[in-house]
Structure formats: C-alpha cells, structure tokens
Structure 1
Amino acid sequence: MKAMKLRPFIPSGTDYPRAVQFYIDLGFEKVYYSDELTIFKFDDIEFHLQNYQNTELQHNYMVELCVQDLDAWWQHIQDSELVNKYDIRVKPPQIQPYGKRAIHLIDTAGVLWHMTE
C-alpha cells in the first residue's frame, strides 16, 4: 500500500466568497471553483475549501502546513495585511511545546492553521 496525498476539506464558514479570496491572498492558487467547492494548490499541497458552515466544527478544526521557510510566510502574512483585511488572528513564529517552530493562524471561519518548518 502507498498513500499519495492527503487533501483535507476545510469549512469556509458563513462567507464562502470571502474565504476563497482569503486563501488567494494567503498565496494559494485556485485550480477549481464552484458554488460548493474550491480546490486550492501551492506546490504539491492541495486542499478543498467547502462552502460549509458549522461553527463547532470550524472552531475545533486544525491543519498543519509544513513549509520550508517559515519566516518568508510570516513576512508575506505581514506584507499582505491579512489581519486588517480579514480580521483574522495570527501569532508570529514561536517554538511550540512539541518542539516545532510555528505560526498559528486562525482563518476567516475559525480554522486553526499550524504553519511549521
């Protein structure tokens, strides 16, 4: 047996078009779009943004995105002013208790992204 990819389905929250634009501004490429689903890609990483609202799920959903240069991602987040534009929460790179250096970013729906290197 061999696994090739893992493509999570991320809930968009109440404002699907805003969530789509957020991920574009974060740096992901939109490779498919419909009223129900958008597929995003960055290099070999892909995920599905689902036009779906469930507050309990969204506030308990976490994704880890492993990146090569965490400082470059942090700079991009700062330069693109995502915090002001989308009223999201983000913490700068820090060493976590589990040993990885990570940015914690809570997206427009409340999903917590652990960006690690």
Structure 2
Amino acid sequence: MTNKVILAACDREIENPDADGHPDIHAIRLIGEGNIVVAEGTVKINAMEHRAVSIRPFIGAKNFEISRNFYRDLGFRETVLFHNMSLFKTEELGFYLQDAYVKDWIDNSMIFLEVRDVNRFWNELVALKLETRYEDVKLTPIRQYDWGSECFLHDPSGNLWHFGEFVK
C-alpha cells in the first residue's frame, strides 16, 4: 500500500524564521496507515524564485571529433564555443559536449529528452543506423511504464540517453 502525502501551505504568518528569514515547516517523518498520515520533522523552504530559461548539462566525450559527428548525425545543431567544447541544440533545448573523458563520470551520466511521439522517434533513430556507423553505440527498444514509455541510446563515449514520452 502506498501512502500519499500532501504538504500544504498555511494561511498564518510563520513565527520562527531562521537566521536567513526562511520559515521552518514541520513535515518529515511519516507515521500512520491508510489515508491518514501524520508528518513531523523539519523541512526548510527555499524562497528563491526560479526564472529559468534553459537547462544545459555538460557531457564528456572519449573522442571529441567522433562525438561531434555523432550528435550532428543525430540531428542536433552544433555551435562551436571553443576548440574543446560545443553547444548542441534541438529546438531550444541543448547540452554542452566537452573534450573531456572521465570514465566514472561518463558511465554514470544519463540525459532524458522528452519527445512528443516516442514510437516515431524510435523509428527515425533506427533508420539512422548509428550502431553500424559508430563503435560502442547501443540502442535499446521502447519500454512501457506506468508513467509513459522510453527508448535508450548509448553514445560512442557511453553517455546514456533516454528518449521518452509521458502518458497524457
């Protein structure tokens, strides 16, 4: 059985803010069964307001030139920033590719790209035949989950891409 917890704001003034002026809200340890759950503990509320425009992860490359070619073939537009770093974009989404390789970092890097139609994306991905054109590239077919579906791609360096579509 899964407990669902709802944290709600109250309409009273917080009497004991911390030294930075952030309120302490009590809601951590869950006690109870079924639909009734009591929570206790302390959660700090961060009053920072994000006005984000984009998020761009940095990923590494074992062989920078091969990776640059791979991502262009995958349909990303490249903007060379430095001799050892490029920005790759699709629509307004992007990531930085670096001429840097740390095996533990690459082996633990995953990027999720939400697509509108994962079945169409998969068919286009297969048609590119990237596995035959680039060493160490691996494709994993679409898997279905409660939240949606996704397929997977390991790039030539080992970065794991998830291409997914959420259930609407």
Instruction: Settle same-fold status: TM greater than 0.5.
Output: yes
Letter in 1 for 2:113: L
Alignment match, 2:56 = 7
SS in 2 for 1:77: helix
Alignment match, 1:92 = 141
Task: Say which structure, 1 or 2, has more relative contact order (CA 8 Å, 6+ apart).
Answer: 1
Identity of aligned residues (%): 28
> Which structure has the larger Rg over C-alpha atoms?
2
- Which of 71, 74, 78 lines up with 2:122 in the alignment? 74
Deviation at 1:82, TM superposition (A): 0.4
User: Deviation string for 1:35-93 (max 9, x for gaps)?
Assistant: 21011110111110011010111001111001112122212211111011113111111
TM-score by length of 1: 0.91
Alignment match, 1:108 = 156
Letter in 2 for 1:59: D
TM-score by length of 2: 0.65
The CA distance in 1 between the partners of 2:123 and 2:150, in whole Å, is 14
Letter in 2 for 1:89: K
Tell me: CA distance 1:78–1:92, structure 2 relative to 1, closer, same or farther (3 Å): same
The CA distance in 2 between the partners of 1:36 and 1:3, in whole Å, is 26
Deviation at 1:99, TM superposition (A): 2.7
Alignment match, 1:42 = 90
Letter in 2 for 1:7: R
Number of residue pairs matched?
A: 115
Deviation at 1:19, TM superposition (A): 0.3
Higher share in helix: 1
Deviation at 1:108, TM superposition (A): 0.9
Unaligned stretches of 5+ residues in structure 1: none
SS in 1 for 2:126: helix
Deviation at 1:33, TM superposition (A): 4.6
CA RMSD of aligned residues (A): 1.3
